Structure 1
Amino acid sequence: MTTTLTATTSAATTDPAPADLLDVDFYDFQTRLTDTEQHALRGIRAFLDTEVRPFADEHWERAESPRRLVPQIAELGLYGNAFPETQQFDNSAVFRGWVAMEISRADPSTATFIGVHSGLAMTAIAVGGSDEQKAEWLPILAAGEQVAAFGLTEPGHGSDTAKGLETTAERRGQEWVLNGAKRWIGNGAFADLVVIWARDVADDQVKGFLVRTPTAGFTGTKIERKQSLRAVENADIVLENVVVAESDRLQRIDSFRDLAVVLRLTRADVAWQALGVAVGAYEGALAYAKQRMQFGKPIASFQLVQQKLADSLADITASIALCMRVSQLQDEGEQRDHHSAMAKAFVTKRMREVVARSREICGGNGIQLDYGVARYFADAEAVYTFEGTYDMNSLIVGRAITGIPAFV
């Protein structure tokens, strides 16, 4: 179904204009980017402020993914900007983190769409694919000619996927037969390609498969009635004797340990995305506090409101520092699972607190889309949960501290 969207302006605020540095970047971390990266980031921010932010509430309310943006996002080079095959210019993991933050600051649903398509699916191909698979798929996906999804989570398995994956893959000559089910698969309701993760019945190891849609036996059904990231069209996927050629098996993925490399990289991106959610809510609350009058003065003049703003900015600043360092470690080739896990756990926890304070500042208006906070408040819950729950990421860090796994 095609719908016409109209740009909306908040009933109480106007969106902040693009600037060289965000006011929320209190310690000027962004100056660590190269001049080229800063210039590119300004252009991306301008695009987001004109083409994404004004329509985000309507997409969210209709529970429709912003598919019209797919080619425009491709033109900006936002798909596959981590891979030599598809980079528009040489850039750092730190830059890519700032980009993820900026997109999420404008709209967490759009950030999730890009994170699934580029961060998860394209990274899986870039890390686990053969040279032929990378040459075939990465340019197509980077150009936005097709949309990809990442099928790992199952109806009965999320945190225990490493050992509990039930979807099976059985090799028959030069083909594989996949059977099972997946749940909460972002972009899965309309994707052209889904990276499906299944357990090889022969060796009990996890392997990845490039499944084109539609394929016989593959069904993707949009999950309805969501109250978080509503503009992400998650799907329930059923695989019934889906036949995949050996040439469409990711050739460099032979175990869950190989898959974990993909998750390590993307988990850091989710930390940046969570930071963007916090920044978006904080900026909405700050603008509201400056304009909302009570007792004859703006509520921004009240001590308790200023304390909430100061606490939120401190949480955001600490989160930027953590995100910056984990991305620097990625650039240096030193990033480990526990680095990404700590960033994801810490930043999503701080994000939750920032969006809660922001909603408090807006009072009753904080639950209405028109005032620039409610969407972030709702979306934060999904970001807090996906790519590893707070508890699981904490246990990854705990294992690194003690040397003792405590997952069960």
Structure 2
Amino acid sequence: MALFSKIKNTIGLLKDVDLDKLAKLNEKIDLKQAMNTLGNLDDRQIKGLMKMLNHQGKKGQHQLPPIDGDFYNLDLKLTEEQRELQLKVRNFMEDEVRPLVNDYWNKAKFPFEIIEKFAKLNITGVPYEGYGCPNLPFLMEGIIAQEIARVDVSISTFFGVHSGLAMGSIYLCGSDEQKQDWLPKMQKLEKIGAFGLTEPNVGSAVSQGMETTCKFDGENWILNGQKKWIGNATFADVIVIWAKDVDSHQVKGFIVRKENPGFEAEKMEDKMALRIVQNAIITLTDCKVPESDRLQNANSFKDTAKVLKMTRAGVAWQAVGCARGAYESALKYTRKREQFGKPIASYQLVQNHLVEMLSNLTAMQTMVFRLSEMQDEGILTDEHASLAKVYCSMRTRDIVSRAREVMGGNGILLEHDVARFVADAEAIYSYEGTKEINSLIVGRAITGYSAFV
């Protein structure tokens, strides 16, 4: 009896065990034989048994915290309806996109089968009023961008180009008739949009060095030139093309349809990042565009800049999504991967990497949250958006690098997702304004001096 008392007091093995449980236990083992065996153990053996049983009990009871990159609980600042939409998008990305995204990324193809399902989310044209658009705060546009990029940056880029740049150009610069003609169809993803600004010979300096030209011949506008890195362009129904008027020397915008004479889009191959995005080089050879398809309220590059300003905050959110996806993937991996007999997440050096990642991620999240609040308040400036783009794209690079590091060699395998985030972070770092250009925009704002030229 003394032995039973010792076992009970030490590990609670028999505490509150009723007769039914004892009967079930007796079906599995010979209790009489077990008690006799325990009685023959010496103190050292009993101590070892108690240690083993205690360890197993703790292991079974130990609950790991949830994997959640929102460490400061920013989701609590969302309304119930906003939170519901966030989770709706997250579930869609987890259920419909994650299972297929690595395969399509590897093949550099686009999963067209998700477009119809994507449309049912009703998230296209989030901040726009009318035309079937949700007319939600810019904050929700950012939240959605983060949720999509958290699973895949390519799909987020497809969405941002269509909903932000293409629809945004028509929404901000189009006539009422153009808006009514295109935006409802684009909102339902019945028509897909692209945005043609960057050129083979000019990227950052496109405002002054644009080589694509347009000239009105009395009936049509004639466009000549090339555009490069144009996402969605291989399959888009409508491409917003920006060109310089040879007569007025002002930049104008045009709604170019894929069937327009003189329009050609050639897919760009061999990319190391955003491989699902179907980037194209567009060649315009005496491409005819009727006056009715000229964006009636796009009369200078300042109008183009309005579109970029509106969408740049979304790119910062996209960087946050990429970083969050990498962090959460790395955390999940380190809790399952064992070395030297225990999960690598239990080692100090790995935990230090994870905390560094989370620190940067949390700083990024709070920054873009406030950025979108300012956009909703109508006080967002170019430099506000540029600072977020600079900081978030830099920190994302650091986070994906650490995520890759804690995974060791497995970090370069697509099956663990982080390799894809590492590559795609390089694209985020450059598009919608390089780190250097966005830094100079902020520098001009805080010093009063322009260092561009």
Equivalent in the alignment of 2:51: none
Task: Give yes or no for contact 1:33–1:94 (8 Å, CA) kept in 2.
Answer: no
Alignment of 1:244-393 (within 5 A): 244-393=289-438
Equivalent in the alignment of 1:217: 262
Equivalent in the alignment of 2:97: 52
Structure 1: how far apart are the matches of 2:111 and 2:325? 19
Q: Secondary structure at the match of 1:405?
A: coil
Using a 3 Å threshold, how does the CA distance of structure 1 residues 316 and 140 change in structure 2: closer, same or farther? same
Alpha-carbon deviation of 1:110?
0.4
Alpha-carbon deviation of 1:89?
4.0
The runs of 4+ residues in structure 1 deviating greater than 3 Å are 86-90
Structure 2: how far apart are the matches of 1:59 and 1:323? 29
Task: Give yes or no for contact 1:229–1:379 (8 Å, CA) kept in 2.
Answer: yes
Q: Secondary structure at the match of 1:281?
A: helix
Alpha-carbon deviation of 1:88?
5.2
Task: Give yes or no for contact 2:89–2:121 (8 Å, CA) kept in 1.
Answer: yes
Alignment of 1:133-148 (within 5 A): 133-148=178-193
Structure 2: how far apart are the matches of 1:88 and 1:163? 34
Structure 1: how far apart are the matches of 2:121 and 2:131? 12
**Greater percentage in helix:** 2
Alpha-carbon deviation of 1:45?
1.0
The structure whose Rg is larger is 2
Aligned residue identity for 1:247: S
Structure 1: how far apart are the matches of 2:370 and 2:306? 18
Q: Deviations over 1:20-44 (max 9, x none)?
A: x972111111111111111111111
Structure 2: how far apart are the matches of 1:325 and 1:126? 24
Structure 2: how far apart are the matches of 1:393 and 1:22? 33
Alpha-carbon deviation of 1:372?
2.3
Equivalent in the alignment of 1:40: 85
Q: Secondary structure at the match of 2:113?
A: helix
Aligned residue identity for 2:241: I
Using a 3 Å threshold, how does the CA distance of structure 1 residues 213 and 90 change in structure 2: closer, same or farther? closer
Q: Secondary structure at the match of 1:101?
A: helix
Equivalent in the alignment of 1:83: 128
Question: Please, which of 119, 122, 129 is the counterpart of residue 167 of structure 2?
Answer: 122
Task: Give yes or no for contact 1:221–1:236 (8 Å, CA) kept in 2.
Answer: yes
Equivalent in the alignment of 1:12: none
Aligned residue identity for 2:389: K
Question: What number of residue pairs does the alignment pair up?
Answer: 388
Task: Give yes or no for contact 2:196–2:227 (8 Å, CA) kept in 1.
Answer: yes
Alpha-carbon deviation of 1:203?
1.0
Q: Bigger relative contact order, structure 1 or 2, given CA contacts below 8 A and separation 6+?
A: 1
> Superposition RMSD on alpha carbons, in Å?
1.1
Question: Please, which of 264, 272, 294 is the counterpart of residue 227 of structure 1?
Answer: 272
Equivalent in the alignment of 2:194: 149
Task: Give yes or no for contact 1:171–1:177 (8 Å, CA) kept in 2.
Answer: yes
Structure 2: how far apart are the matches of 1:276 and 1:126? 26
State the identity as a percent: 49
Structure 1: how far apart are the matches of 2:104 and 2:250? 40
Equivalent in the alignment of 2:251: 206
| TM-score for both structures, normalised by structure 1 | 0.93
Using a 3 Å threshold, how does the CA distance of structure 1 residues 297 and 22 change in structure 2: closer, same or farther? closer
